[in-house]
Amino acid sequence: MVKRVSLKDIAREVGVSSALVSYVLNDKKTGRINKVVAQKIKDTAKLLNYHTNQIARSLKTNKTNTIGLIVADISNPFSATMARIIEDEAAKKNYTVIFGSSDENPFQSEKLIETFMNRYVDGLIIAPRENTEYLLHDLVKQEIPFVLFDRYFPSINTSYVAMDNFKASFDAVKYLIKCGYKKIGIVNYQSTLQHLNDRTNGYLKALETLHILPANNLVKEVAIDNIPVHVENAINELMAMSEPPDAILFASGEIALHGVKHIKQQNIKVPSELALISFDEMAAWDLFYAPLTYIKQPLQKMGQLATKILIESIEDNSRIQRYHLPGSLVTRQSTKLPL
Amino acid sequence: MVKRVSLKDIAREVGVSSALVSYVLNDKKTGRINKVVAQKIKDTAKLLNYHTNQIARSLKTNKTNTIGLIVADISNPFSATMARIIEDEAAKKNYTVIFGSSDENPFQSEKLIETFMNRYVDGLIIAPRENTEYLLHDLVKQEIPFVLFDRYFPSINTSYVAMDNFKASFDAVKYLIKCGYKKIGIVNYQSTLQHLNDRTNGYLKALETLHILPANNLVKEVAIDNIPVHVENAINELMAMSEPPDAILFASGEIALHGVKHIKQQNIKVPSELALISFDEMAAWDLFYAPLTYIKQPLQKMGQLATKILIESIEDNSRIQRYHLPGSLVTRQSTKLPL
DNA sequence: CTGAAAGCGCTTACAG
DNA sequence: CTGAAAGCGCTTACAG
């Protein structure tokens, strides 16, 4: 690699101290510096194509202007879209993003946090995996700024930004009932994560509120170790019941993807035999013969807000903020029209 | 933020110099150091929960163990999947990845490269946008290690990893002909990027080789400013011809997504009236009533190879390597069976 | 208005 | 076998 230009090089060229060069290029002490000298420094910096060495600056200031982003898997569309929104928002405020995928490997989250801390990121944005509360408690104790998104732990004293999953689910089921469906099932992950439980709870509450008896066996939970197979089984079980459901709510895009594929293969007619609603927006929904009605998460707002809150808490150590943003139901042909 | 433990803290605790602590923790000069002292240093480091300050190390060694990844848009599935593969491969070799989306904003690529250079990334992996050769020439001149992926510029003296787009396209068209299709169209981007031209060229070559006259108006190129509309128009134009095509090759997943949506709306029957093949694997292909035949890119290999080549050239300044990896055609119901 | 100096936390050539 | 010292390229409190 070619040698880079340093402050000292500019100082030597102009005939001043490197301290002065630093002041000028950082716009410190403006007004108290000789205009002519200042201009000459700026010109020389440009001429020599000077760029601050962020590493050296960081070492001195203890600030890297870097955010660590930890998602479940950067290759899934939800994470990737969030990454993009966070990237843009961070760039506006002069932050760069490093990312990592925590997956389902239990040590991966820990390892990522450690890596990011060694690199002295200024803060973290995390979609935490199950059973990682202890890691987050650690971050709180070390006073490292971080905000959770999508998923959250009520027990941890930190900021987060999530959708109001309870209400989104509640509204979706209310809509199904309004369309005349009476036996509504749900397929969710088997998980202790609060935002997923909120989805099932919203579903149950809607049935209760509208005086529909929730049949317990219409709630299916699939283990994450082999989603395609577990989803197929769940649907087979539901449809083999003496009174099979006339509508299903899928608690995630991933579940729905496998669910719809299977329903198509089984030649179950949507929406006449079975109505479908899924969480999450996906390009795939449009190619199904009955484009899916889905719950759209406010990704843009979630990402921007999470980034904004994080940077605020990095820069002025501000108070904890928690958001449950409203989702919206996009109604299409996988559900009949309301009666 | 809580004060972190430094080498000096350990040195003080053990009663040795921080130089010695550095040697021990980095496994330098092993054998020439008193075993007992070495063990005590290691124990103390663990006890105090010491972690290297990568910033300080980087400043000294001029090495950040960071790779900058520049993609068109991290939120698109192709980029996101590559990001994940690169992340994993880089982590194995102890590198962290920072990413940025270059988009279609002409200055964005330049800005990203500058940001990454200020942060002294050790090297870059880039899917370059159109007309950015000048930036890459700059990198070559500055002797900054980088490798291109997916897209490449033959004129630039650098390593790259791409699919063999020419052959993939050639094979896809050959397959269509084997199935009995005679009037084959292609919808590609309007672009000067070599890898996209390769796709059209492979298509033309296959027709030529198999003595099918390529009707010039069966080649459609869509501007990137409004893909959905341009793709619709392209398909309308093709289907309005006196002799409309009986098969279409889509040169990207994005084009196909809008294309298939439109074809579905127009009630054109696939594959009986019109066969379809698309580049790229997408979840959406499975939900269409005639699951798409597609050209699968060897993403895993591409990402791993690009990362491996980059790290090699960072660490031993190795020679330029160029790969055109074979794609594979996954045949399904959007094309009839071969005759 | 400007500069000398210290120091961020490491690594490493050199001396003993 | 071990340590003193220099230095990476910045920033900033202090002195004049």
Complete DSSP assignment for A181-213: --SEEEEEE----HHHHHHHHHHHHHHHHTT--
Residue A41 has pLDDT above 80, yes or no: yes
The pLDDT confidence band at residue B73, using thresholds 50, 70 and 90, is very high
* Out of B51, B83, B287, closest to residue A284 by CB: B287
Beta carbons of A212 and A240 less than 8 angstroms apart: no
Q: Would you state the structure tokens that stand for residue A40, as one six-digit string? A: 């000459």
**Mean pLDDT score, B90-105:** 91
Nucleotide nearest to A17 (CA to C1'): C3
Residues of B in contact with A98 (CB under 8 A): 66, 96-99
Q: Would you state the structure tokens that stand for residue B6, as one six-digit string? A: 């430094």
| pLDDT value of residue B69 | 97
Name the residue of chain B whose CA is nearest to A140's CA.
B1
- Please give the angle made by the CA atoms of B104, A92 and A103, to the nearest 5 degrees: 80
Residue type, A207: L
The angle that helices A18-25 and A35-47 make with each other, rounded to 10 degrees, is 90
Q: Identify from A74, A112, A143 which residue to disrupt to test chain B contact, counting B C-beta atoms within 10 A and taking the largest count.
A: A74
A48 touches strand D (CB under 7 A): no
| pLDDT value of residue A166 | 98
B63 touches strand C (CB under 7 A): no
**What positions of strand D are covered by protein, i.e. any atom < 7 Å from a CB?**
1-5, 7-13
CA A95, CA A113: separation in Å to the nearest integer?
18
Strands B96-101 and B159-163: unpaired
| pLDDT value of residue A339 | 87
Coil, strand or helix at B257: helix
B104 touches chain A (CB under 8 A): no
Which residue in A251, A272, A250 sits closest to A260, CA to CA?
A: A250
**What positions of strand C are covered by protein, i.e. any atom < 7 Å from a CB?**
1-5, 7-13
A6 touches strand D (CB under 7 A): yes
The angle that helices B54-61 and A54-61 make with each other, rounded to 10 degrees, is 140
Place of tokens 């997408």: B282
Rg (CA), chain B: 26
Beta carbons of B99 and A108 less than 8 angstroms apart: no
CA A322, CA A153: separation in Å to the nearest integer?
11
**Sheet of strand B293-296, all strands in order from the earlier edge strand to the far edge:** B219-222, B184-189, B247-250, B275-279, B293-296, B328-330
The pLDDT confidence band at residue A200, using thresholds 50, 70 and 90, is very high
**Mean pLDDT score, A237-255:** 96
Strands B123-126 and A275-279: unpaired
This model's pTM is above 0.85: yes
| pLDDT value of residue B200 | 97
Between CA B17 and C1' D16 the distance (Å) reads 38
- Please give the angle made by the CA atoms of A202, A305 and A317, to the nearest 5 degrees: 115
Q: Identify from A78, A117, A119, A299 which residue to disrupt to test chain B contact, counting B C-beta atoms within 10 A and taking the largest count.
A: A119
Q: Pick the residue with more confidence: A37 or B71?
A: B71
B120 phi-psi bin (left φ>0, alpha ψ -120 to 50, beta other): left
Average pLDDT value for chain B = 93
Average pLDDT value for chain A = 93
The angle that helices A7-14 and A35-47 make with each other, rounded to 10 degrees, is 130
**Mean pLDDT score, A237-262:** 96
| pLDDT value of residue A328 | 98
Residue A263 has pLDDT above 70, yes or no: yes
With distances taken from each CA to the C1' atom of nucleotide D3, the closest residue turns out to be: B17
Residue B215 has pLDDT above 70, yes or no: no
Count contacts between A and B (CB, < 8 Å): 152
Tell how far CA B22 is from the center of its chain.
Answer: 38
The pLDDT confidence band at residue B304, using thresholds 50, 70 and 90, is very high
Sign of CA dihedral A56, A59, A61, A64: positive
Beta carbons of A68 and A100 less than 8 angstroms apart: yes
CA B203, CA B172: separation in Å to the nearest integer?
8
| pLDDT value of residue B46 | 92
| pLDDT value of residue A210 | 80
